[in-house]
Structures are given as C-alpha cells and as structure tokens.
Structure 1
C-alpha cells in the first residue's frame, strides 16, 4: 500500500512539474509572433525565457526554506498558484513590462517546484529505489519541450501567442487539482527524508561541501548541454544548407527520445550500485556525442544520432536528481541540497548559450564542439570528487558490497 501511495504522489508531483515546465517553455514556439505583437527585438524577447534562470538562481535556497516551513504540499500549491496567476496576468496584457513581470511570477513557481518535486520523491522512496521516479522527474523538462515543440506552432497559428499561454494555464489548473487531491507527506517515522523536520538547519545544509561540488558539476554540464541544444540547429542549418525549420525539427526529436531514455535509465539505476561512476561515464558520453553532432557533415547519420543523443542527454540528469539528496549527512537536509544543486543548474542554463555562442563566433563550430566536450569532461572530473552519504550518516561506499535495506540503510 505504501509503494502504491508513493507512486501516486510521485506521478501527481511529476505532472505538476510538467505543467510548470510547459509554462516555462511556452515562449520559444511563438517567439516571432510575440516580437511582432509587442514590437520588441530579439534581445528583449530572449529575456522572456532567460528570466526563468535568474529567478531559479534567486529562488533556490528560499525554496528550501518554503519547503521546510510550509511543507511540500502547501509549498507545491503555492508554486502552481504562482504559475496560474502569472499566466492569467500575461494572457490579458498588451504591455511588454507587465508580460515580463508575469514571467517573473511564473518563474517563482517553477523555482519552488524544482526543489519541492524531487524532495517529495526523496521523502517517499528509499535511496535504493529512487532511480526510476527521480529519472522520470528528470525528464519533465524534456517532456514539456516535446509537447511545446509539436503543439506550440499549431496553437500559435490557430489562436495567436495567447493560445500557448492558455494551454499552459489549463495544464497548471489540472495539475493543481490533482496535486491537491493526491499529494501528501508520509508520516515522519515513514519518511526517508523528513524535510519538514524542525531540526532542519538551512545553514548546515548550505555548508555541505558535497552539495556544492555536485552543483559545480551540474553547472559545467548545463553550460555544455544548453550550449549544444541552443546552437546545434543553426550548426546543422549552415552545414547541411537547410532552413531553420528543418533543422529545428530534428532537434525537437531529442526530447522524445530523451523521455524514453529517462525511463530506461531510471529502471537501470535502481540496480546500479555505483551511481556516481555511472554519472561520470554519462558526462563523458555526452561530451563525445556533442563532438559527433557538431562535426557531422552527412545528414544521413542523423536518425541514429538523435536516438543515441536522447540517451546521453538523459544520463547525467537522471543520476543527478537521484544522488542530490545524498550529498548531505542528514536526510532531512535533502531539500537544502536540492536547492544548492538548482543554483548550479540554473547558472549553467544562463551561461551556456552565450559562452558557446561566443566561442563559435570567434573560432567556428568545431572549436565550439571541443569547448562543449571539455566542459562535460571537466564536469565528470568534478563529479568524481563528490562524497555521498547514506541515511545512517555514514559515507556511502559506492561499492557492490554496499547493500541498501528497505529503509535505505547500509548493512
């Protein structure tokens, strides 16, 4: 019964994450229409997306405080209300300043849920069983991007940019209802990470070196990953003499295969003892894949590349969210650890596209690919120094001999 309840909570949480990610990713499919409707340039339009990363950085630690003080259910409700309110403000405005403000309100919701979601999963699932639910959680952004990629243009054509806004709003309302009905915290004695405990010290969690090491590794990965995703369509359009639409179509397939890969990798992670080294291998594999993608001069290889890329793209995020709660010595500090990791995640998203874009502009696509690969390999090196802890406060040995009991203890 407890396992069934855990999965009900997990799926309601993941759906909430997807609805918020739909709100986050709704700008790209209607970017041109928005620029015309509000008479804004590309730089201003770009901030409609980039604001989320800035808000995510600012909200990372406050989200941990909200999680501890309000609990994951009320905190998640606040997150969804922020997204609903921001969407309502945005859909009825004709002012770019108000639209920007509405995106900040939405960003607060996304920032809260990015910490609350994986914390809820950590509460309901022991360390040995977190691989699959955390991996599905890791795919929520990819799933939302795939939905927006295939529906965004249709909605914009039929209803203008407001159609995309209404779609995200409806998704958040549905997710809100399910979240209220299905999500609850386990009893303290049954929780595998009691993030609501009065003993939680935000300062103690922030001082955990391992959380910051993992955050640094995450930042380096996101610089490479988001640099690649942001520019690869342009690279292929120039290399294969395609139009942007044709190149973007292939990039859209990344998300589809990424979601499939996340489920497969998640099932595998529940059987992997040394998850840290799995993450190291995934980071190196991503670096190699980025080289292949940007050095490719024959589009006939794209089908195979897109499938393989989906798996290497999902590899590290699946490991990241599975391990993040283990970077602190006390399981009740998991929410703080996830906040620290979210800082690196959002900094990488913010820095990746302009850094890789500048490298490409100065030295060409091949050097840009080498920079992406180097960033991912460096992330792998940093990750190898991350110390993980088991729930009994002992350092996780990460060896095949370490057997986790149903309570997540090493014996």
Structure 2
C-alpha cells in the first residue's frame, strides 16, 4: 500500500487539500482577470468587443473539447504531475501575456493559460479523492467547488487597485509559481504504478461515455452552467438598466452575487456528509434557480428585491456543482476512472458557458428581457428531470 492510499484510509490530509484548493483559486484568477482587464486591454490595443471576447471564451472552447482527453492524461501521468504541469502552463502563459507587444501574442498566451486551467481543474479533484478520507470526501469536494467563485471575486476586487493589466498578469503568474512550490512540498504523489497503454486509455474514455451516470452528470453540469452564466454574463447590464446604478457599482454588486455561490458550495458538502440525497439536492437547487430567474427577468418585484433574487439564485445554485463533483467518484464505472468522469463534467460545464450567454443574448435581443425567463426556467425543468434519471444509475460505494 502506498503512502497516499494509507492517508486516504486513515485520515484527511487537510494541508494537501488546502494547497490543491488554492491552486484551483489561482486557476480561476485567470478567468476573472480577463473580465476585469478587458477595458484596459481594449484601450491599449484598440480592439472591438467581439475580438476582445476571445480573451475569456478561449478557456471555455478548450474545456469543451479537452475535458476527457485531459482526464485520461491524468490517469497516464498521475494527477499530481498534471496539476504541476497546469500551474507551470499558467505561469508561462501569464508571464508571456504580460510581455505581449500585440494582441495576437496575448491571445496565444491565453491559450497556454487555458490549457493550464483545464489541467488543474481535472487533476485537482482526482488528488482530493485520494488525500481525503471517505467520510470527509464530500466536504473536500465542496471546498474544491468554491475555487471558481472565489477566484473570480478576488480578481474583480484586485482590479479595483491594480490599474495596469500587465501587472495583473505578472501577479497571477507569480501566484502560480508559488502554488507550484507549495504543491511540490505538501501534495503526495497519488499515482498508482504502471502507466496504462494508449489502448487502455481509449477504453477508459469509452467506458465513461457508455455509462449512464457520468453522462447524466455532465449534462446537468451543462444545464447549470447555461443557467448561471446566462444570468451573470449580463448581470451588470441588467443592474445598470433596471436599478440605474453606475458601472463600478454594478461590478461590486455582481462580485457580491457571484461570491455567495460559495455558501451553496459549502452547504452541499455539509448536507452530503450528513446523508442528504444527491438527487434531492440537485432537484431542489434547480427549482430555486428556475423560479428565481423567472422573478428576475420578468421584473415581478422591486429593484432591491430583484437583486436579492440574484443573490438567492447564485447561493442556492452553488449546491449543484459541489454535488456533481462529489458524485463523480460515486458514479464512475471504476475508482481509477474518476479523472475521466471529472473531464466529462468539465466539458459539460464549458459547453454551458459557451451556449448560455449566446442563447440568452440572442433571445433578449429578439424578444426582450422577459423572454430570458422562459429559457432559464426551461433549462431548470430539464435539469430536474435529468437529475431524477440518476436514480438507479449504476454506482459504487466510496
């Protein structure tokens, strides 16, 4: 028995959990920094909004096609090595971007950062599965699911005092280097032993794609991301039009509404650790998101109450990603296939991030804000029905 497995059986290595979650926050900073730096980058390079949008969307495109391949890579190389490679890619991409003399080089550096983000977000849950004891694994996964809202909120706050976008890139690159050092010092090697062949890895991917449980998890993650980003990509515009607030105030309110997603993440871990039904949590959270979206887009309440609905939408919605991620080891066809299942979930998440804003923008442009209620509400209903399909899906005790 390896030291890592012994740790898993005996106790949770909370130091390793903390460093892995911190690495995820560093990865999420790369997402948030693009949003906060866009006006500065646009001013320097003189770009239109369509071209500028690739700074953010390139991450989602990479994740949409690369999730399962990176999951198999984590099996082949070991999750710890893949995590370190991801942090290295982020550091290189950030420093290259900070020195970019023209936008094409900056965009190329974002591809490198995006690869690093994908490597980290798939390798980290596989590590947590091994360093957390079975009794505390749901809590560890809930902590992990906080990485995205935490990183994005921190990036937005940092943008209030970092007025040079190149400095933002340099700081995030330095943080990635620091995370690499901490990972080397604190995170144990969780790889098994003999590396599988290419044929075996292809078989692993096929086994996951042919299993009902993982496919349903990935589809629910796509629906969640569609709902969440359908609202939050347009939240500043919605706040400015409905509440007549300034751009700065809209940014702060948006950061607050995004940050409360963490509460739902943590609540899911505690509820799952107490034996609450995974299906029940997904169904309840989806219903709350759908009903809240109807109230938000139809403007059924006063402005302040509408914003509180946005907060509720985000907070309760945070239950879903934490529940889905913690369900990956449970519904994986075999214990060693968890990284591939996580990869499938990330592909679903990124699909929703790409489709959601485009769909909601098109609907609003054609029919006005109220029409968005039907799109998000419909996605919530489909998420509920899909979650009910998880009942009886083949799984294993972990």
* 1:241 partner SS: coil
Tell me the CA shift for residue 5 of structure 1. Answer: 4.9
Query: Could you say which residue in structure 1 is the equivalent of 2:3?
Result: none
The CA distance in 2 between the partners of 1:362 and 1:112, in whole Å, is: 38
Tell me the CA shift for residue 185 of structure 1. Answer: 3.6
Tell me the CA shift for residue 301 of structure 1. Answer: 2.2
Q: 1:292 to 1:248 in 2, by over 3 A?
A: farther
Tell me the CA shift for residue 187 of structure 1. Answer: 8.1
What do the CA deviations read for 1:213-267 (whole angstroms, capped 9, x no partner)?
A: 2211211221111011111221221122333332232111023322233223322
The CA distance in 2 between the partners of 1:375 and 1:310, in whole Å, is: 15
The CA distance in 1 between the partners of 2:235 and 2:194, in whole Å, is: 40
* 2:128 counterpart of 1:124: no
Tell me the CA shift for residue 389 of structure 1. Answer: 4.3
Query: Could you say which residue in structure 2 is the equivalent of 1:105?
Result: 112
* 2:248 counterpart of 1:268: no
Query: Could you say which residue in structure 2 is the equivalent of 1:398?
Result: none
Tell me the CA shift for residue 309 of structure 1. Answer: 3.4
* 1:249 partner SS: helix
Of 235, 239, 242 in structure 1, the residue corresponding to residue 245 of structure 2 is 242
The CA distance in 2 between the partners of 1:282 and 1:23, in whole Å, is: 28
What do the CA deviations read for 1:24-54 (whole angstroms, capped 9, x no partner)?
A: 2211111111011112110111111000001
- Check conservation: 1:30, 1:161, Cα contact below 8 A: yes
* 2:211 counterpart of 1:208: yes
- Check conservation: 2:41, 2:165, Cα contact below 8 A: yes
Of 360, 374, 387 in structure 2, the residue corresponding to residue 383 of structure 1 is 387
- Check conservation: 2:219, 2:348, Cα contact below 8 A: yes
Q: 1:47 to 1:187 in 2, by over 3 A?
A: closer
Of 42, 46, 61 in structure 2, the residue corresponding to residue 39 of structure 1 is 46
* 2:244 counterpart of 1:221: no
Query: Could you say which residue in structure 1 is the equivalent of 2:365?
Result: 361
Of 174, 180, 200 in structure 2, the residue corresponding to residue 176 of structure 1 is 180
Tell me the CA shift for residue 390 of structure 1. Answer: 4.2
* 2:378 counterpart of 1:374: yes
The CA distance in 2 between the partners of 1:218 and 1:187, in whole Å, is: 27
The CA distance in 2 between the partners of 1:304 and 1:272, in whole Å, is: 30
TM-score relative to the length of structure 1: 0.87
Tell me the CA shift for residue 69 of structure 1. Answer: 1.3
TM-score relative to the length of structure 2: 0.90
Tell me the CA shift for residue 353 of structure 1. Answer: 0.5
The CA distance in 2 between the partners of 1:293 and 1:266, in whole Å, is: 28
The CA distance in 2 between the partners of 1:260 and 1:223, in whole Å, is: 20
- Check conservation: 2:45, 2:102, Cα contact below 8 A: yes
The CA distance in 1 between the partners of 2:229 and 2:249, in whole Å, is: 20
Query: Could you say which residue in structure 2 is the equivalent of 1:343?
Result: 347
Of 90, 100, 117 in structure 2, the residue corresponding to residue 93 of structure 1 is 100
Of 209, 233, 236 in structure 1, the residue corresponding to residue 236 of structure 2 is 233
Of 314, 318, 330 in structure 2, the residue corresponding to residue 314 of structure 1 is 318
* 2:172 partner SS: helix
* 2:127 counterpart of 1:114: no
Structure 2: where are the runs of 5+ without partners? 1-5
The CA distance in 1 between the partners of 2:41 and 2:282, in whole Å, is: 39
Tell me the CA shift for residue 307 of structure 1. Answer: 4.6
Query: Could you say which residue in structure 1 is the equivalent of 2:140?
Result: 133
- Check conservation: 2:139, 2:269, Cα contact below 8 A: yes
The CA distance in 1 between the partners of 2:224 and 2:261, in whole Å, is: 16
Moved more, 125-134 or 58-67: 125-134
* 2:66 partner SS: helix
What do the CA deviations read for 1:39-97 (whole angstroms, capped 9, x no partner)?
A: 21101111110000011122212211221111011111111110011111100011111
* 1:293 partner SS: helix
What do the CA deviations read for 1:153-201 (whole angstroms, capped 9, x no partner)?
A: 3102xxx11121122112111111111111114586xxxxx99778763
In the TM superposition, structure 1's runs of 4+ consecutive aligned residues that sit over 4 Å from their partners are: 194-200, 387-390
Aligned residues: 385
- Check conservation: 2:208, 2:332, Cα contact below 8 A: yes
The CA distance in 1 between the partners of 2:99 and 2:375, in whole Å, is: 42
- Check conservation: 1:195, 1:332, Cα contact below 8 A: no
The CA distance in 1 between the partners of 2:226 and 2:330, in whole Å, is: 24
